[in-house]
Structure 1
């Protein structure tokens, strides 16, 4: 099942999207979903992905499909 999405003109997997948000490799990532909100910087579509940066932590990350904006629920 391919959950790949286009982000900033590149096709990314859930793991790659989580890496873009986190800035480093993650242990595991869930499917990419639409976050139902607009990017505060460019007004583009925002995607969300749940991921585990470590064994003890679960984070929901948000990434604009059109620009470099990113955020987490930390």
Structure 2
């Protein structure tokens, strides 16, 4: 089973998905999961990924699989 998922028509790794949410590359990312919620913009499926943008920070990022909507929670 691969950790990669299709987002906006492109195959992404957990670190790439986290970078899409964060806007820059991240240090480490956990496997991608289904967020069990719908995108507030297009109603598409939302993925979640836990990641470390820095050594001392861990956040959860959310990204729609179909449009460019994303969000993050510290």
TM > 0.5 fold call: yes
Structure 2 distance, partners of 1:12, 1:64, is: 13
Structure 2 distance, partners of 1:2, 1:22, is: 22
1:19 aligns with 2:19: yes
SS at match of 1:24: coil
Aligned counterpart, 1:72:
72
Aligned counterpart, 1:55:
55
For residues 38-74 of structure 1, the C-alpha deviation after alignment (integer angstroms, 9 at most, x for no partner) is: 0000000000000000000000000000000000013
Gaps of 5+ in 2: none
SS at match of 2:20: helix
User: Within 5 Å, which residues of 2 pair with 1:29-40?
Assistant: 29-40=29-40
Aligned counterpart, 1:43:
43
Misfit runs of 4+, over 6 Å: none
